[in-house]
A and B are shown apart, each in its own frame.
Chain A
Amino acid sequence: MSRILVAMSGGVDSSVAAALLHEQGHEVVGVWMRLHDVADSYSEFKKSCCSLDAADDARRVAAQLDIPFYVMNLEREFDAGVLQPFLDAYMSGETPSPCVDCNTYVKFGALLGRARHMYECEAVATGHYARRDIGPDGRARLLRARDADKDQTYFLYGLRQDQLEHARFPLGELTKPEVRDVARGLDLATAEKPESQEICFVPGGDYRDALRDRAGWIPEPGPLLDSDGGLVGEHRGLPAYTVGQRQGLGVALGEPRYVSRMDPLTNTITLGRRQDLETTTIDLERTSFISGDAPRQRDPFEAAIRIRHRATPIAATIRPASADEPARGGRWIVETETPVWAVAPGQAAVLYDGEVVIGGGRIARPVSGAPPAVELVGSSG
């Protein structure tokens, strides 16, 4: 049995992940990662030993399991790999997926690197709802969790083979209620702890506070255009909006309008009617494939695509944007069988072959200047 480092967040999922591995006889080392300074908000001195509730919860569970437990500071790595890209994305009118970056660059990035190079660990385990196995070709595969509702593979699509080889997901075969049952059965301190819904470094849930505090964002108003190009109002600064947003636009144009496109170069937001935000074409950039190679020698292939966490995957055909797209970091074009709505540049898009995660990428801004509209009879133009 090997030494496995479990990333313990202080929540019930990672608590049970640690418990299961421990029960299986692995040498489990629990680590709570300090990724940012949110816990310091209320302390008088930044480096005082203030009570970090999440770390305390993780520590209590580790004590119950009688496993070593440490707090590891990865603030610098988190800042480089997650926080700065998050801020940069919003400042350029995109909607980031920070949890994807955190898995790729921090949990199975910086943390896994240290676990293997410094602490002689075979793997890093997390409480993600996901499954990993070895496929027929001997390569590691990432599969959706048994609990389809909780499946978190959307956030894990960016893992490379070497990362996936050294990743463990003990909760993959369990449903959330079953996980809670395990926790209760072991009387773990976090058995009844409610789940956190917010981005971990944005306490209070409003990402604009993070933009103000961490990127010095000063809202810059700009034109709000309708889909015909006409000026219909003023927006309060690009980062405050997301594609598909309807609330807070301050326009009354009869039929509801939604944010359709955001252009940082002209500081313009273009609105559209509901149908204007539909498309069957999605451009992906910075793509990666779990197997390490592009599927089928870069021929078009079929897959199901998810453009949001927990959305039902939609059938699509995917082809490379050129003849020599690299296996990692390339551009692929997705044509969906049925229209998708409010495709937001910057967000992750993940490709599935049934249960198996093929890979994914970031949704790119549409290549052409025109909004990605489906041509409808009678649409404005």
Chain B
Amino acid sequence: MPIYLDHAATTPLRRDVLDAMLPFLTESFGNPSSAHAYGRAARAALDGAHETVAGRVNAQSREVVFTSGGTEANNLALKGAAWAGKARGHRIVTSAVEHHAVGHTLRYLEKFGFEVVELPVDRYGRIDPDQLEAALNDKTILVSIMLANNEVGTIQPVEEIAARVRARKGIVLHVDAVQAAPYVDLDVELMGADLVSMSAHKFEGPKGVGVLYVRHGTHILAQQQGGTQERHRRAGTENVAGAVGFATAYDLACAERADLIGRLAAQRDRLAAAILALPGVELTGHPKDRLPGLLSIVARDTDGSAVAMSLDLEGIACSVGSACTSGSTEVSHVLTAMGYPEEEARGALRLSLGRTTTDDEMSVACDVVPRVVASMRMGSVAVAADPLNQGVPA
């Protein structure tokens, strides 16, 4: 199997996490809502998961809602807060570089009369808190800003953003922390957020489980009906194994974060040095305020998806940004918002390291990636000169 450099897309399930989950996939299978012994055992595990997560984000257990993943957490946050706040106002303020789980949900809400204001970003992908403040009016009910960008790794000034939002009354602040959670300490009090989304599979937990932190007193309309689970905020028999997996994975990630960040940054810098040595290759996103393991570049005269395909054939798995298997030609909205022209944005490539990335893998990558980028550039130039392969003109 190829060397895995796509941790931003997902991460391997950690062995300790699998071990913690197994009992709840085998002998301890009870429904937490059942009154009998099986139910009580499941309930206890679920409660423990709530407590663990709450403890790590400086929240209360009752403020943690387990969902089916980061996308559901974002949907619940946005739709929940929008519908709950509709009587008071209809404006939602966000950024131009949000993940589709936020962007598409907001586009959907627009159809129902909500006004969505998309703040522009600078060349690093950061919003300007002054512009944010200027966009807040009496009709604003919700602000949604991602903590760290999944394509370029840039970390937003969330505390500053929160200060501006708090200065006005009645606006709910949602922070999409899905990509940031493994690497950035999430203290909901320090962040000043009312809603925070997280996803287990970004920090070596299982896919299909997420958390929405909901500050006590923040009113959201449940999006999934059919039961009273998660304190009436998210109906459905709880995924106990998943919740336990989330909690175990997150607990470990928080405990090891300080060491991990240092090691990842060093590995990434090593790979960056090798790749940026090529002419016409540029780092995208903020040079300092970025996720430690995420190396996003644009390489002149290349097609990122073609480079990724070639790297896969050479034994290195990475991506171009947001994965999309339908083969669309549209370039990243994130890079476009950051001011990259279409032809440049086409050369985007994303390599993301994780806890399991070894130094040997880095050595191979430092050798292979620049070589493939260079050779793909030559190939792309040849193809561009004769796009329909019609040979030498007669």
Contacts and interface: CB of A to CB of B under 8 A. Distances in A.
A82 B183 CA distance: 49
**Which 5 pairs, one residue from A and one from B, show the smallest C-beta to C-beta distance?**
A113-B389, A71-B327, A118-B379, A117-B379, A34-B327
B310 to A, nearest CB: 6
A114 B327 contact: no
Interface string A161-195: 01100000000000000000000000000000000
Interface in B263-283: none
B326 A110 contact: no
A322 interface: no
A80 B389 CA distance: 12
Contacts of B324: 47, 49
A106 B394 contact: no
Contacts of B104: 45, 48
Contact of B390 (A29, A73, A105, A118): A105
B306 A47 contact: no
A329 interface: yes
A104 to B, nearest CB: 8
B391 interface: yes
A63 interface: no
Contacts, number: 88
B386 interface: yes
Interface string B374-394: 001011101100111111001
B26 interface: no
B130 interface: no
Nearest to B314: A120
Interface of B: 104, 107, 305-306, 309-310, 312-313, 324-330, 376, 378-380, 382-383, 386-391, 394
19 contacts: A34-B328, A47-B330, A49-B324, A50-B326, A55-B325, A73-B305, A81-B388, A109-B390, A111-B389, A112-B389, A113-B387, A113-B388, A114-B306, A118-B310, A118-B376, A118-B379, A119-B310, A326-B394, A328-B394
A329 B394 CA distance: 9
B241 to A, nearest CB: 27
Interface string A18-57: 0000000000010010100001000001111110100100
Given A113-B386, A117-B383, A73 B394 contact: no
B325 A49 contact: yes
A119 B313 contact: yes
Interface string A80-118: 110000000000000000000000011011111110011
B328 A46 contact: yes
Contacts of A122: none
A45 B104 CA distance: 9
Contact of B389 (A39, A46, A70, A108): A108
A82 B386 CA distance: 16
Nearest to A3: B313
A222 B58 CA distance: 78
Interface of A: 29, 32, 34, 39, 45-50, 52, 55, 68, 70-73, 75-77, 80-81, 105-106, 108-114, 117-119, 160, 162-163, 326, 328-329
A34 B328 CA distance: 8
B328 A73 contact: yes
A328 B238 CA distance: 69
Given A55-B325, A114-B383, 12 more contacts: A34-B326, A34-B327, A39-B326, A47-B324, A55-B327, A68-B313, A71-B327, A77-B388, A106-B388, A110-B383, A117-B383, A118-B306
A329 B393 CA distance: 11
A278 B306 CA distance: 51
Contacts of A32: 327
A45 B107 CA distance: 10
A114 to B, nearest CB: 6
B313 A71 contact: no
Contacts of B380: 117-118
Contacts of A329: 394
Contacts of B389: 105, 108-113, 163
Contacts of B309: 70, 72, 119
Given A45-B104, A113-B383, A113-B386, A160 B326 contact: no
Given A29-B313, A105-B388, A49 B326 contact: yes
Contacts of B379: 114, 117-118
B369 to A, nearest CB: 16
Contacts of A75: 329
A376 B161 CA distance: 89
Nearest to A71: B327
A118 B384 CA distance: 11
Given A119-B310, A329-B394, A71 B326 contact: yes
A73 B330 CA distance: 10
Nearest to B2: A68
A329 B391 CA distance: 14
A29 B314 CA distance: 12
A328 B392 CA distance: 12
B310 A109 contact: no
Contacts of B312: 68, 70
Contact of A77 (B107, B326, B330, B387): B387
A77 B386 CA distance: 11
B310 A160 contact: no
Contact of B329 (A76, A108, A328): A76
